[in-house]
Structures are given as structure tokens and as C-alpha cells.
Amino acid sequence: MSQGSGEHQLKYMFYPKSVAVIGASRKPGKIGHEILRNLIEYGYPGKIYPVNPSADEILGLKCYKSVLEIPDEVDLAVISVPAKFVPEVLEQCGKKGVKAVAVISAGFGEIGNVDLERKIVEIARKYNMRLLGPNIFGLVYTPSKLNASFGPRDVLPGNIAFISQSGALGIALMGWTILEEIGLSAVVSVGNKADIEDADLLEFFGKDEHTKVILIYMEGVKDGRKFMKVAREVSKRKPIVVIKAGRSERGAKAAASHTGSLAGSDRVYDAAFKQCGVLRANNFEEAFDWARALAILPPPSGENVVIITNGGGAGVLATDACEAYGLKLLEMPKDLEDKFRKYMPAFGSPHNPIDLTGQASEEQYKGALLEALNEPRIHSIILLYCQTIITDPEALADAIIEAYTQAKVKKPIVVNFVGGVECDRAMRKMEKAGIPTYPTPERAVSALAALHRWARYAGYIKQT
């Protein structure tokens, strides 16, 4: 469905030199106002041109009667006018030589106006413009300081590209990522996917140096074959995480009435995702848990995992989770047991889980962690800590960051601290230092398991 020049044109969408907001409004709360304000306040450094036939100036910027009046090239036009005016506006954009358009307006295929939707795609194609939407909340691309959405403003920069088929949920999740301090390279609302669809964005983000992980909330795909073809290739370079809603029969029906997607049989999706190396998450919490690990950790070079803990209980829970999520715990060789024994009292356990006991100090944690990081027979590490009065969580966080920085080899590590507000602070500190942290042992294990699955698909772990 995409054009030959598609990828080329998508660059103008994410790296525009100038943006027109057609349907810009003076009224706070109006979509055409909020988009313009987000563009300005998020710090977009290019030219911004509000278009509104009945205003001279909005938010301090000179306003134009139509896009044709703008005395400059326009790379991206964000369109927020009533649906019936969209064809006319698109014709003007085409004549102006606009490269890409994001049609915010609703009132197309999603409410049965299929002809109107077909018409706008035809106009876009005629002028070789790529079209995002319609029926979307906009797009964000943090490397360009571009927030052309009416969602929350202060999206944190990072390297996860988030693509959402759902509007309200997508906007809400933008806010949630800010709350959870999750960095994003992009947020793209795909809406009705009349022209630009998931596969196009996979191609773009697959090559985008600012994106390490692509996360998609999806209710259905338009062209399954194309999606699979592209996903199979992109997955070899970058992990793709998908939340595919409409698992259940009733959920699929609800999805159909929501976005008009033909959700298809869930088992078909499941099989297709597996075949393409796509990591399917059960919910958005899990999806972002995985994406955070995938975005900052190196891939493991083998299957051997060790658990380091100061709490036997947490170690047991993580062991159970390793089996449930398909991670292989290293059978500890005698010489390794002896090495780890140095970092624990006599009643500790150097088996795997390595139990440093509740008496473990920062130094012992650091010693054991360095041992694991520098040991070639160990490929990934799960580090757990239960808050005690013996070890201060923040001092322990510093010790872990030091060990991770000092280690000769980079290998994946996921961390879970269980305890009070001090643990929360310590985890945020590690997160900032590039170590992914989780609120439970199971969620840490689940994220590491996703990384292992991807590493197997992409060939970092040799299949035996």
C-alpha cells in the first residue's frame, strides 16, 4: 500500500524543517491550539506556521489564511479541520509541495465514511505526500524536539519508539511514560492507517539511529503479509514489542467496533509474531518493562543466567519465574561456587540462586556482581535485594553502578529491590545509570527473558 518513495518521505515527517498547523486555534483546550502550543513549548527549532483564515496571530506567531500563503517550503502539515474540509486542505498542501501530512481530524472510516477516507488517500498519493491518520492525536519525535500532538507535552527523550492504534489509550500512555520516567524516541498515533501503517514505521524506525526498540499497541493490521515481511527483517536488527489487543473473541469484537480493525484469529497473530521474532506482551506494563531492558542492555551471548540475592524468598520467586519464562539457570561449577563463597557468611549459598544472606554488605554485593560480570560462563545476571537494616539501598545502588561500570565485559543485568521509599529512590538512580530495575523479581525475570528471546532470534545466542 505504500509508495516507492515512502521511506524517503517519512523523513520529512520526523525531521521537518518547517511545520504548518492547519486549523490552528486561538482557544486553549481546542485541539488546533494544543498542538501548536506543544510544538512551540517542547522547543521545536524549525519554522512553525499556524494556518487559520480568521486569525492574524496565534501564540505570538503570524497566522496564514491558507497553506498556499506561507512564504516558505513546508515539510509537514498537521491538519485539524472538520473532516469535510480535509480534501480541500490536502489539495492545497499538494499544490504547495508539502511532503508529509498528519490528519488529526476524525470522521472518516472509523464512523463509516470510507469514501471520504479513500478520497484523502488519493489526493495524498496524487501529490506524492505521505499521510498519517486520519483520526489521530499526532506525533512526537524527540530527536527533532518535535511534539506535534495534543497529548502531554514533556515526553522524555529516550530510544523507544511507541506506535499506538488507540487514541485515548495512546495519549494516556504518553503521560504514563512521563510519570514512570520512560524515555521515548517517538510517539506515533496511527489511527485509521489509511496510508502510513505499522510496516512503514517499522521500516523507518528499523533504520533510525535514535530508536533501539519499537513498541506497538495494535488492534489489527491492514496488510498482514507486508507486516510480517518487514517485521521479520527489522527484528533481526532491533526488537519489536507488540501489545495485540483483541485476544479474546469478545475483545476482538470490541476492537472491531472501536477502530474498525478485523482482529482476526488470535492464534494466527500469535504464530505470525513468533515467526517474525516479534515479542508479544500481554499488557502495556509488561511491554514497557521489556522495552526498557531491550533499550539499554546489550544482548546476551549465551543462555546461562545467575541470580544474586540477599533474600532466600526472593531467590525462590525468581527461580520459579525463570522456569515460567524460559530462562536457563546456570548449574554452578565447583570452582565458581568457591569464587562466590568469598562474598557470603558460612550459612550463605553459592548455588544458583547465589544467596549472600540478609547480612550481605554493599562490598559483598559488589564483589559477587563483579565476579559474575567478569566470568565468561555467565551470560546474564538477575540481581535482587530485600531491604534490610544492614545494607542501605542507595549505597548498594552506588556499588552496583560502580561494578557495572568497572566490569571488563558488558552483559545484561536486571535488578529488583523490594522495600520502602529508599528502594524506590535507589532503583530510579540505577535506571538513570543504564541498569533496568523492576518492582518485583518476576517482572525483572520477565524482562530479561524477553531480551533472551530476542537475542535467540537475532542470532546473538547460538541455537544448539
Give the footprint of a second copy on residues 122-151 (CB under 8 A): 150
**Residues of span 287-306 touching a second copy by CB under 8 A:** none
Angle, vertex CA 75, rays to CA 74 and CA 76, nearest 5: 100
Q: Does 277 contact a second copy by CB under 8 A?
A: no
Q: Which is nearer to a second copy, 50 or 170 (CB)?
A: 170
Which strand (E) or helix (H) includes residue 403?
Answer: helix 393-406
389 alpha carbon, distance to own chain's centre: 37
Q: How many residues form the binding site for a second copy (CB under 8 A)?
A: 75
Q: Does 190 contact a second copy by CB under 8 A?
A: no
Minimum CB–partner distance for residue 51 and a second copy (Å): 21
Q: Rule CB under 8 A: choose which of 69, 73, 323, 338 binds a second copy.
A: 323
Minimum CB–partner distance for residue 154 and a second copy (Å): 9
**Residues of span 47-106 touching a second copy by CB under 8 A:** none
Q: Which is nearer to a second copy, 230 or 427 (CB)?
A: 427
Minimum CB–partner distance for residue 197 and a second copy (Å): 17
Which strand (E) or helix (H) includes residue 310?
Answer: none
- The strand pair at 157-164 and 240-244 is best described as unpaired
Minimum CB–partner distance for residue 150 and a second copy (Å): 7
The span of 60-68, 97-105, 232-240, 313-321 binding a second copy (CB under 8 A) equals: 313-321
Q: How many other C-beta atoms can be found within 10 angstroms of the C-beta atom of residue 207? A: 12
58, amino acid identity: I
Minimum CB–partner distance for residue 319 and a second copy (Å): 4
Q: Does 335 contact a second copy by CB under 8 A?
A: no
Minimum CB–partner distance for residue 165 and a second copy (Å): 7
Minimum CB–partner distance for residue 193 and a second copy (Å): 14
Which strand (E) or helix (H) includes residue 262?
Answer: none
**Residues of span 433-452 touching a second copy by CB under 8 A:** 439-443
Give the residue among 190, 162, 142 at the shortest CA–CA distance from 15. 142
CA distances 43 to 40, 119, 364, 379, Å, are 6, 34, 46, 42
Q: Which is nearer to a second copy, 94 or 353 (CB)?
A: 353
Backbone angles phi, psi at 438, to 5 degrees: -140, 150
Q: Which is nearer to a second copy, 6 or 107 (CB)?
A: 107
The verdict on whether omega for the bond into residue 82 sits within 30 degrees of 0, i.e. cis, is no
Q: Does 311 contact a second copy by CB under 8 A?
A: yes
Minimum CB–partner distance for residue 183 and a second copy (Å): 15
* Paired residues of 160 in beta bridges: 213
Q: Does 114 contact a second copy by CB under 8 A?
A: no
DSSP letter for each residue of 16-71: -SEEEEET--SSTTSHHHHHHHHHHHTT--SEEEEE-TT-SEETTEE-BSSGGG-S
Binding track over 157-186 against a second copy, x by CB under 8 A: -------xxxxxxxxxx-xx-xx-------
Which strand (E) or helix (H) includes residue 417?
Answer: strand 413-418
Could you give the residue ranges of the DSSP H alpha helices within 159-265? 167-179, 198-207, 224-237, 249-259
Q: Rule CB under 8 A: choose which of 355, 362, 371, 375 binds a second copy.
A: 355
Q: Please state at what angle helix 86-96 crosses helix 114-126, rounded to 10 degrees.
A: 10
Q: Which is nearer to a second copy, 69 or 320 (CB)?
A: 320
* Paired residues of 86 in beta bridges: none
Q: Rule CB under 8 A: choose which of 319, 364, 380, 437 binds a second copy.
A: 319
**Residues of span 33-52 touching a second copy by CB under 8 A:** 34
**Residues of span 230-269 touching a second copy by CB under 8 A:** 243, 245-251, 254-255, 257-259
- How deeply is 317 buried, as exposed, middle or buried, from its count of CB atoms within 10 A (0-12, 13-18, 19+)? buried
Minimum CB–partner distance for residue 103 and a second copy (Å): 17
Tell the residue number behind the cell numbers 563463597, with chain if given. 341
Q: Does 115 contact a second copy by CB under 8 A?
A: no
Minimum CB–partner distance for residue 60 and a second copy (Å): 21
Binding track over 396-415 against a second copy, x by CB under 8 A: --------------------
Which strand (E) or helix (H) includes residue 92?
Answer: helix 86-96
